[in-house]
Structure 1
Amino acid sequence: MSNEAPRTEEEFNAFFKASYNPTVHRLMRLEARLAQADAQAIVARAFHETSMRWSEVRDPGGFLWDRVVKRTIDHWRKQEATPEIPCDTSERIFVRPAPMDGEPERYMDRMHVEKLIDELSPRDQRAIRLDLEGATSAQLAEALGTTENAARVCLSRAKKRFAKLVDREAEVR
């Protein structure tokens, strides 16, 4: 394949067949924490961008790798911008059944939930908030100044007390 433009579609297809797998493997070697599916998606997008400008490209390998690097940066930025929910949303205090006809709505906004947490004892508040932030049992124990088992018991009891507050509020509404 020559390094002079314009290039043909057949040349691109040959370039793709020869370069796709090595490019995915190179990316995965350089970015060890990247999942294979993500690496393949990044490389596929880079190849698409290369194909769109194929007739202008002078150095296909260099142009392709530049696109791969840019798409990888975009990937990591997107991952950082998508925060994970730091709590187990399957637990009773976070999941409520939909109301039946005639029942009041049980949805509470964040500010209302914060007010309910504020009604708990300072120790329960700390346990609940640390759990919502994703703290481990060891971190919770350290913050509460107790053992891990005692911290888990404290958190469990705090969640039960919080659930009672939520149920009380649901009855009031």
Structure 2
Amino acid sequence: MKIQPIVNQPVIETARFDLRPLRRSDLGLIELHAGDERVARNTTSIPHPLPPGTIEAFISRAMTEPRDFDCWAMDGTKENGAEVMGLITLSRLDRNQSEVGFWVAPAFWNTHLASDSVTALVTANPLGNATMFATVFQDNPASAKVMTNAGFVYLGDAETYCLARDAAVPTWTYSRKL
């Protein structure tokens, strides 16, 4: 029996799901969802097609101390839902700031899961940040709405590289003072 390390990050509870640290047993579901081109094309860092070992390496980084990001699974088992419906991350920046990132599996789109997850993470503020930022692709207005629903304000336009698209993609940047 292999013992999983304890990850120093809290479980964040909501009424219908929990945001919990990743565990190795999440591998199959994360690979299934992250391997979906619709998910990968809306992130900067998930390649498509998904190379073998990518998610296993990501989970290992998420469970390692020290690390520069924290990652939570959107876990719906408390309401008899799926164990992994998506992921949400906080990447550490300087000056007591972090960047929020998330993706939701297509089966759970349009269920307010992303908005509820971002709101729960902001409310919990597990890193004690003064400011959180987020960047969304301009061709993904649903993610922009998630950010404004969670109290983020528009900062400006930029662009970033997307692995799955193999291209620079125009973005909108948002921030929220805490």
Per the normalisation by structure 2, the TM-score is 0.23
- In proportion to residue count, which structure has more helix? 1
- In proportion to residue count, which structure has more strand? 2
Who wins on radius of gyration, i.e. which is larger? 1
Higher RCO structure (Cα 8 Å, ≥6 apart): 2
Per the normalisation by structure 1, the TM-score is 0.23
